[in-house]
Amino acid sequence: MASKASRAAFGEALLELGARDPRIVTLDADLSKSTMTARFAKAYPQRGFNLGIAESNMIGVGAGLALTGKIPFVCSFACFVVGRFETIRISVAYTNANVKIVGTHSGIAIGEDGYSQMGLEDIACLRALPNVPIVQPADELETRQAVAYAVEHQGPLYLRLTRQNLEPVCPPDYRFQLGRWLTLRAGRDVTLVASGGTVFNALEAARRLEADGISAEVLNAASIKPLDEDALVRSATKTKHVVTVEDHSIHGGLGGAVAETLAEVLPTPVKRLGVVGFGESGDAKGLYAKHGLDPAGIATSVKKFLNR
Amino acid sequence: MAEGNLDAIARACRVQIIRMLTHAGSGHPGGSLSVIDILTSIVFGRLRHDPKRPDWADRDRIVLSKGHAVPALYTVMARAGYFPESQLITLRKLGSPLQGHPDRVALPGIEAATGSLGQGLSIALGMALGLKLAGSPARVYCILGDGEVQEGQVWEAAMAAPKLGQPDHPLDNLTVIVDYNKIQLDDFTAKILDLEPLVAKWQGFGWPVLEIDGHDLAQIAKALDAAEATRGTPTLIVAHTVKGKGVSFMENNPEWHGKSPKPEEAVTAIREILGVTEMAWPDYLKTDATTRAVVDELRALDKK
Ligand SMILES: Cc1ncc(C[n+]2csc(CCOP(=O)(O)OP(=O)(O)O)c2C)c(N)n1
Ligand SMILES: [Mg+2]
């Protein structure tokens, strides 16, 4: 498979699933060209709704549709849809409405638009809600499966997607399961837990580390909540060092989830890599280098963490 | 300032908008070009400010709530002297204070961080109230996009504004302008979520509303005067505009909401903004060294 943005894979998957399942509807807030639901709305005009630049209303309407048996996907940039946190909190989560929340354009990887358009705290916000699984696929194959899973899953769910293209990382026979992480590379000295857009860079970093005699295990944490405690503990028991890599604030995201879990079940040194402070405008490559999320930056941080 | 002058400034700013967006390789030309006549009229026609003292307590304030049009604001700020015009082409580049959307901390002179639509009017209300409470003579100008007006928070603010501060501190120091260019991101506003009857809606919330052509400098000046003369209430100006105004292939075309021109498109755009025919263009460039330099610089981008 070629590289593809997870938002594009999402749009295609939904288009296909929509043909089979009439319960699926899409809701947008004037970003349907960007969230890639525009084709769904064109193919199924009775089931695609653009509610204008009004995200709270979109989420609430989604909740109402869910309560009448539809499976609504409410879509916007991650920052804008999760920005309506309190509406999600009550109308979706507490109501246990079967709403699929889709946040695209996650992370600093969106680049030039700058902080106001970057979803950087969305995982932190939604992790605090008891009943909202958080899924962040790492490539096209995984995205397609995650979307299919979201349709089957009963209850709210958050799908975190990228604007940028993602290189394939999952093997062809891969099957997404909520709460299960795939080991993409086995290693002995350190565990790299990555998710979404950073998985490929973590794999690249692992290859560089190999050249320096460091054996890194790479886990693809597509299921950020619930996380795969078994896989995490198994790997951490072996390597005794865990590094998390995510395009999200280092506070409250994947790194936070991993650190919290290990602190309770298997105290292990953890290094969290992610975005420190606000994001800013710039080219994605430059931003990843600045925040140490490119392969070179990850490798450097790992060596420092291991005192090597 | 005389209208002729403002017209020349607005034209020069349009050229700079095209130039900086082309350098950036991304950004929002449509809404920048629709709002530039309004911004020029405010900043060079009446704003009481001092670019050397951006923290002057009694300065007038502009809240560009439709933050994605910030290239337009940067061009007038550069021209007013907040930063050198040469810095415009750092727009959206790593480390530049000219962020893709307004950043109050990064760039002195920016009054509010916007870019998440719907938040600016509330901030403007707070500023207007704070200035009134402080006994300041300063005014607040807030500019909304028409698509932006769909946000619920805008209507919360709209409902609050005529009442906030009454009776001793009414927000008559606040002028709000809707850049009514009839287009949002996905499509025409009337197709996505029609705002009409827009004037009646705001009037129903208690606002005096003026309707103008947002590219007619005389009408803009008159409306801003009327708003300033109004006592006891803030004023809304509904400015009918053309998205992409000044560039034929951008005008009224939703495609040009959020993409930057390629260098050759940019050169055509600049030629049209300057009102020069294709035939006369080579000769024109021999007489206008400044434009010639911009054109050469843009063409060089293609070779990068
Ligand atoms: C809360 C929020 N939702 C969505 C967006 C994405 N967005 C950026 S510009 C835009 C359309 C704005 O349309 P309008 O207000 O009419 O602006 P203009 O036509 O002047 O460019 C959208 C939806 C955003 N910036 N903020
Ligand atoms: Mg508009």
CA–CA distance, B210 with B234 (Å, rounded to integer): 12
Per-residue model confidence (pLDDT) at position B303: 79
Catalytic option among A55, A140, A217, A246: A55
Buried b (16+ CB within 10 A) or exposed e, A191-218: bbbbbbbbbbbbbbbbebbeeeebebbb
Phi and psi dihedrals of B169, rounded to 5? Answer: -130, 60
pLDDT at A302: 98
Q: How many residues does chain B have?
A: 304
Proportion of chain B above pLDDT 70, given as a percent: 99
Nearest alpha-carbon partner for B193 in B241, B151, B153: B151
Sequence spans of domains, chain B = 3-303
In the predicted structure, residue A63 carries a pLDDT above the cut 90: yes
Does the distance separating the beta carbons of A281 and B93 come in below 8 Å?
yes
* Burial class of residue B258 (count of CB atoms within 10 Å of its CB; 0-12, 13-18, 19+): middle
Give the C-alpha distances (Å, rounded to integers) separating A209 from A83, A148, A218, A269, A295: 38, 35, 12, 19, 10
Query: Considering chain A, what is the average pLDDT of its residues?
Result: 98
From the candidates B22, B150, B187, B304, which should be mutated to test the interface with A, based on the most A CB atoms within 10 A?
B150
pLDDT of A177 higher than 70: yes
pLDDT digits (tens, 9 = 90+) for B215-266: 999 999 999 999 999 999 999 999 999 999 999 999 999 999 999 999 999 9
Full DSSP string of B94-151: TT-SS-SS--TTTSBTB-S---STT-HHHHHHHHHHHHHHTT----EEEEEETGGGGS
Q: What is the CATH number of domain B3-303?
A: 3.40.50.970
Q: Is B254 in the pocket of ligand 1 (CB under 6 A)?
A: no
Q: For residue A219, what is the enclosing H or E element? A: strand A216-220
Which H helix or E strand runs over A28?
strand A24-28
Q: Do the bridges between strand A182-185 and strand A216-220 make them parallel or antiparallel, or are there none, so unpaired?
A: antiparallel
Residue with CA nearest ligand 1 atom 17: B145
pLDDT bin (cut points 50, 70, 90) of residue B267 is very high
Q: Hunting for tokens 């099957």 — which residue is that? A: A175
Residue labelled with tokens 């939703």: B254
The string of pLDDT tens digits covering residues B19-66 is 999 999 999 999 999 999 999 999 999 999 999 999 999 999 999 999
Domain A182-305: assigned CATH number: 3.40.50.920
A160-171: pLDDT as tens digits: 999 999 999 999
Contacts of A31 in chain B (CB under 8 A): 185-186
Judged against a pLDDT cut of 70, whether residue A298 lies above it is answered with yes
Provide the mean pLDDT of chain B: 97
What per-residue confidence (pLDDT) applies to B302?
A: 85
* Nearest-neighbour CA in chain B from A60: distance (Å): 13
Distance CA A166, CA A6 (A): 7
Q: Which two tokens stand for residue B69?
A: 């049009």
CA distances from B265 to B75, B278, B279, B288, B301 (A): 20, 13, 17, 19, 12
Mutate to test the pocket of ligand 1, among B36, B37, B65, B66 (most ligand atoms within 8 A of CB): B66
pLDDT (tens digit per residue) in B278-300: 999 999 999 999 999 999 999 99
How much is the pLDDT for B294? 97
Whether this prediction's pTM lies above 0.95 is answered by yes
The ipTM, to two decimals, is: 0.96
CB-count burial class (<10 Å; 0-12, 13-18, 19+) for B303: exposed
Q: Which two tokens stand for residue A207?
A: 């290859």
| Sequence ranges of the domains in chain A | 4-166, 182-305
**Token representation of residue A70:** 């539809």
B216-236 b/e (C-beta count within 10 Å ≥ 16 → b): bbebbbebbeebeebeebbbb
Task: Assess A31–B contact: CB distance below 8 Å, yes or no.
Answer: yes
- Nearest Cα neighbor of A164 from A259, A76, A34, A253 is A34
Compute, in angstroms, the gap from residue B1 CA to the centroid of ligand 2: 28
**B200 burial via Cβ count (<10 Å: 0-12, 13-18, 19+):** exposed
Q: Which residues of B touch A39 (CB under 8 A)?
A: none
Q: What is the pLDDT of residue B1?
A: 67
Tokens at residue B139, please?
A: 């005014």
Contact call for residues B145 and B120 (beta carbons, < 8 A): no
The pLDDT of residue B68: 98
Examine the residue annotation and report whether A55 is marked as an active-site residue of this protein.
yes
- Residue A146, pLDDT > 70, answer yes
End-to-end C-alpha distance for chain B, whole angstroms: 41
Among protein residues, the one with the nearest Cα to ligand 1's atom 12 is B184
Query: Which is nearest to B63 in space by CA: B78, B42, B79?
Result: B42
Domain A4-166, CATH homologous superfamily name and number: Thiamin diphosphate (ThDP)-binding fold, Pyr/PP domains (3.40.50.970)
pLDDT at B2: 74
Please judge whether B150 and A281 are an interchain contact, meaning their C-beta atoms are less than 8 angstroms apart: no
User: How far are the Cα atoms of A67, B111, B204 from residue A155, in angstroms, in the given order?
Assistant: 11, 42, 40
* Segment (H or E) for B285: helix B281-287
C-alpha triplet A146, A149, A154: angle, nearest 5°: 135
- Which pLDDT does position A36 carry in this prediction? 98
Q: What angle do CA B27, B30, B35 make, to 5 degrees?
A: 105
Work out how many CB contacts closer than 8 A connect A with B: 94
Distance (Å, whole) CA B110 – CA B114: 10
Cα distance between residue A88 and residue A161, in whole Å: 18
Distances (CA, A) of A154 to A21, A97, A157, A158: 15, 9, 9, 12
CB distance A53–B27 less than 8 Å?
no
Residue A278 has pLDDT above 80, yes or no: yes
Band of the pLDDT at A1, cuts 50, 70, 90? Answer: confident
